[in-house]
Amino acid sequence: MSEIRFDGKTAIVTGAGGGLGRCHALELARRGANVVVNDLGPAMDGSQGTSDGAKAVVEEIRAMGGTAIANGSSVADDAGVKKMIDDTMSEFGRIDIIIANAGILRDKSFAKLTVGDFDIILDVHLMGTVKPFMAAWDIMKGQQYGRLVVTTSSTGLYGNFGQANYGAAKLGLVGLMNTLKQEGAKYNIKVNAVCPVAATAMTENLMPPALLEALKPEYVTPGVMNLVKEDAPTGTILSCAAGGFSIAQIRETKGAFVGTGDALTAEAVAAKWDEIADDSVLQAFDNGSGHTGHFIRMIQEAQKG
């Protein structure tokens, strides 16, 4: 199998001053990429920090012979994102890869969350991915090349107590990916999601030491390299933890046609609930049209009798 290389490519990794982002940035540099190490350095709740972590990662990259620059912009700030993109283009002249990794937490049960707790999480996780992608989109279209990665979470895919704000943002990123994979296809822009479980500053207080040791962030990075390589997939959700990898998918049951007009009542739906919920046959759709087509076929089959 040929080595995965990124020679001549330029990658931006947000939230790369530590944890997963640092591991992604270092590995991209080892494999030949020019790397922009972005990190505002906030505390886990989003309060102000410094970009010293980004500068330290740049020094690590340069010490091993790689090429990198640091950027301390907030991914949630329009002017900051513009500076990140402008600095990258000024230094390297192109943007091939963006791994949107920056994140913070405001964990509370839903009863204790405020609208502000939602706003800041959506600003950093969701809009902090949208803004860099949007700023680089025309650049990638012009190049006829782009590799984008969103960082989702099992909380977004499956839920987790005390993380309604975080889960809403993380599943929103899957929706973003599902549309951008279609809009970017003709421009050779591929968009994927990583769903990591790793020992980072965001998880160090949530897991016992032995488990944290097994969940090294560097064990996620090899999977991410496969999401940004030349022949990367697109529209894939790659789950990664402790050296294990799997693909997550949104699937739907075959379902059942209940009826129309007077025959379609809440009781009629209840009578067919077991058939509607039967998960012995599951299907995934490439786009919303595929989902609509599923119901059109169901109607047509019912009309045939």
Q: Are 221 and 23 in contact (CB under 8 A)?
A: yes
With tokens 């046959």, the residue in question is 281
Ranges of H-type helices in 122-194: 127-143, 154-158, 164-183
As a 3-state breakdown, the chain gives helix, strand, coil percent values, each rounded to 5, of: 45, 15, 35
From the candidates 158, 166, 187, 219, which is the catalytic residue? Answer: 166
The question of whether 166 is a catalytic residue gets the answer yes
Residue position matching structure tokens 């920056």? 102
Of the candidates 194, 175, 10, 197, the one whose C-alpha atom is nearest the C-alpha of residue 101 is 194
CB atoms within 10 A of CB 26: 22
> Cα–chain-centroid distance for residue 79?
22
Residues annotated as catalytic are: 166
